[in-house]
Structure 1
Amino acid sequence: ELAARLKIPFATTSLLISLYLAFSMGASLARRRNLDIIQGGVISLGAFLIAMRPETRLIPNGRAEWILPMPHLGAEGILVAILLAILSVEILAFFHGRRWVIRLPASVPSAVSQPFASLVPGLVVFLTVWIIFHLLGFDLFTIIVNAFQPILTRAGDSLAWVLLMVFLDSALWFFGIHALVLLALAKPIWLGLLQLNQEAAAAGAATLPHIAAWPFYNWFVWAGGSGAVLPLAFLMLRARARSLRTVGKLSAPAVLFNINEPLLFGTPIVLNPIMAIPFFLAPAACAIVSWIALSVGLVGRTYLLVPWTLPVPIGAFVAVGGDWRAVILVLFNIALSGLIYWPFFRVYDRQMLEREAAQNGDAAKDE
């Protein structure tokens, strides 16, 4: 009984990820469209709950109660939550853009007027979802679970997919584009894999089903941030070029907590053909080594979502549920990344040193 009680916090947080996602996605999209974030989140959440098609059953005292299918609140509902959040906010924006809303006098406080302004579009959203899912009997959950989710799950857990994500992440950063563009598209798949691992862990499975959940990338592939740049930051502390040493001193503390923008733009790695080579190779090598290590059971698989700003060994240790072998794998990957960066860094350091010497010589001539 104690074990069951201890699982309650886990079940009401991690196993309800789609429920939280429906609200947060709607609120985030509403903010981007300059709409009220609370109304955007509430309408998206309401649409998601209506789409779940809750059932009724009689309880012992003869009363009827609503039953929500729990799998839909977990990994099975992620894509549905995202789609309904997009639909809800688009309808909300459409009505607000054409002023087809209930408008109260300006003297009325916004806390009162905002709910009235969202009343009509909210009713339209709920009615639309009810017609689609209940009147027409369209079960998007089942379609995704039976058709799309198995394909996405198998593809997202493969080494080929992992390497593709690593390549795209490095490519975006190389051109100075924040990789959030990629994360927005791939994260639902990664979170779905994480949710399935969490459900297996809660059920007491000896081996978790999936390798490439979201924490896998955080802790085993991108140590120090995109490009696995943690060892590079410390190599730069020993650079002969003063500019690189300065960047190393400024960026190393941040890279320890996986914040690498100062290094990427200060070195720079962006549009730098020399440093781009290890920036692509290092995370790819870490991904291959880590994927193999987890696939053959040398290291436990991730199932806990921890803050991405933790130092990498600590984050990896927690994410796999306290497996010390994860720390060894992280340290090995850091050393491997350092070996990959080392020859390219030496070439670039020499170039920067020569450039600084030339600039100092020109300055001396001007004097």
Structure 2
Amino acid sequence: MDKTMKFIQEKLTPVANFFGQQRHFAALQKGIMTTISFILVSAIFMIVANPPVTPDLVAQGGFWSIFSGWLNFATTYKTIILVPFNMTMGMISVIAAFSIAYHLSNSYKMSALNNGLTALILFFIAAAPANYYKLADKTTVSAIDMTYLGSAGLFTAILVSIISVEITRFCQRKNITIKMPDGIPPFLSEMFASLIPLAINIFVFFGGNIIISSFNPSLSIPSLIETILRIPIAGVDSVPGALFVCFFILACWCVGVHGMMVTMPLTTPISIAAFASNAALFANGQDPIFHPIFMTLAIAFVGGTGNTLPLVVLCLRAKSKQLKVFGKAAIVPSIFRISEPVIFGAPIMFNPILMIPFIVGGMFSAIAFWLACTWGALTSPYLLISGTFPIFINDFLKALDYRYLIFLIFLIVVLFFIWYPFFVIYDKQLLEKEKEIKMKEAAKV
């Protein structure tokens, strides 16, 4: 363990320092971490809207009947309960577009508010332009498509925020702005100075969407990005293919792309067919068989995508205040397999130290699940269960096999060892930064 930690510290710390000091990556991390409070609040409403039972379980009576009131309430008012979720997690890319541009422009000593608002508007133009729709009663409404306003549009938000700030900065450096005479109030000067850069930015992103849609009306900037990213993962119905999909999903999250959303059009039909096939086998008294696509389930067994619950538990004993506070805030969402607070809040995204255990732990889980099922240690899944069911219950319900509980305990133990050395190094880095900040504050006093 000491050798491993020494290797991590010697090889990864310089990379982590580069990511932390390079202004674009620093802005990304700060911008993404700005979203964490919205994500944590949204997780509460998601949990309330998805009780840890199914109607069939409640109908059986016994222990599960204690959830009947919660299930009835959630079923009746689900659309209302999810309104705060839709306006927080469902708008997370909008928040990120503003905050990333805000922090990046701040590092350039530019107007952070103007550039943040510019990026926000440009993101709407690129990802969710308002259109007019005719309803069945012949009336016309103006509406936007929210598909890419949530985490599915995060990569687009990153690109828009960085590119828009750089275009504005280029215009300012080259004096491609409207200059007002002396004596004009500063806010008016800033407003007129931003007009030409704003027009150029709109031309780039609005024009980009028009050019893309002229070739294919169904595509836009974010959907084109998704289409391009899907090309490498065409063969998902084999063990190597499924393993590559698992790696692809995890790697995408590390750079701000919602891996599940990218792969879903390819993996969902295969997953549904695999569950249906196994359900038919089980109904006929035969053993379900393992389909390679089931490996994508295992990367989210323990705490959501990347199996991040062990990291959150470790954070509860962290020496740095940042990780200790984060651990307390993220523990409940992690138990309910909601990993966005960890990916955005630790953060794992654009963090070279935590990226490695995130990917390695996920891949280990996928391979271990494949081996356990093919060797007969676990029953292959045959019940398609969706929702934010907590760990243990979620995976037990997919096969009604108590051995899943043992397998998950084994997985958690192994994942603790995978996460631990990286957690220690990262915690130490944050602690040193916190000490430096205290010393600087003390010096000012």
**CA positional deviation for 1:160:** 1.5
Pairing of 1:248-263 with structure 2 (within 5 A): 248-263=327-342
Flag the structure with larger Rg: 1
Pairing of 1:61-76 with structure 2 (within 5 A): none
User: Could you tell me the TM-score, scaled by structure 1's length?
Assistant: 0.56
**CA positional deviation for 1:335:** 1.4
Partner of 1:333: 411
**CA positional deviation for 1:184:** 2.9
Q: Verify the 8 A CA contact 2:303 2:338 in the aligned structure 1.
A: yes
Pick aligned residue for 2:428 from 350, 354, 367: 350
Q: Verify the 8 A CA contact 1:241 1:356 in the aligned structure 2.
A: yes
- The reply on whether 1:294 has 2:373 as its aligned counterpart is yes
Partner of 1:318: 397
**CA positional deviation for 1:327:** 1.1
Partner of 1:284: 363
Partner of 1:192: 273
Unaligned runs of 5+ in 1: 1-5, 7-95, 104-109, 115-154
Partner of 1:92: none
Q: Verify the 8 A CA contact 2:302 2:308 in the aligned structure 1.
A: yes
How far does the alpha carbon of each residue in 1:83-117 deviate from its partner, in whole angstroms, 9 at most, with x for none?
A: xxxxxxxxxxxxx99x9xxx9xxxxxx55448xxx
- The reply on whether 1:273 has 2:352 as its aligned counterpart is yes
Take 2:379 and 2:284, find their aligned partners in 1: how far apart are those partners?
16
Take 2:244 and 2:368, find their aligned partners in 1: how far apart are those partners?
15
Partner of 1:171: 251
Letter in 2 for 1:189: I
Pick aligned residue for 1:245 from 297, 312, 324: 324
Take 1:269 and 1:185, find their aligned partners in 2: how far apart are those partners?
26
User: How many residues matched?
Assistant: 221
CA RMSD of aligned residues (A): 2.5
Take 2:310 and 2:343, find their aligned partners in 1: how far apart are those partners?
13
How far does the alpha carbon of each residue in 1:122-164 deviate from its partner, in whole angstroms, 9 at most, with x for none?
A: xxxxxxxxxxxxxxxxxxxxxxxxxxxxxxxxx6453312321
Unaligned runs of 5+ in 2: 1-55, 57-130, 140-234
Judged with a 3 Å threshold, the aligned counterparts in structure 2 of structure 1 residues 194 and 200 are, in CA distance, closer, same or farther, namely same
How far does the alpha carbon of each residue in 1:282-320 deviate from its partner, in whole angstroms, 9 at most, with x for none?
A: 011111111001011111010112234111211111111
**CA positional deviation for 1:209:** 2.5
How far does the alpha carbon of each residue in 1:168-216 deviate from its partner, in whole angstroms, 9 at most, with x for none?
A: 11111100111211223322222221121112122221x21333455x5
Task: For residue 392 of structure 2, give the secondary structure of its aligned residue in structure 1.
Answer: helix
Take 2:299 and 2:406, find their aligned partners in 1: how far apart are those partners?
11
Judged with a 3 Å threshold, the aligned counterparts in structure 2 of structure 1 residues 244 and 218 are, in CA distance, closer, same or farther, namely same
Q: Verify the 8 A CA contact 2:299 2:305 in the aligned structure 1.
A: no
Task: For residue 385 of structure 2, give the secondary structure of its aligned residue in structure 1.
Answer: coil
Judged with a 3 Å threshold, the aligned counterparts in structure 2 of structure 1 residues 285 and 219 are, in CA distance, closer, same or farther, namely closer
Task: For residue 283 of structure 1, give the secondary structure of its aligned residue in structure 2.
Answer: helix
Identity %: 32
User: Could you tell me the TM-score, scaled by structure 2's length?
Assistant: 0.47
Higher relative contact order (CA 8 A, sep 6+): 2
Letter in 1 for 2:283: A
Pairing of 1:15-34 with structure 2 (within 5 A): none
Take 1:302 and 1:242, find their aligned partners in 2: how far apart are those partners?
41
Take 1:162 and 1:259, find their aligned partners in 2: how far apart are those partners?
22
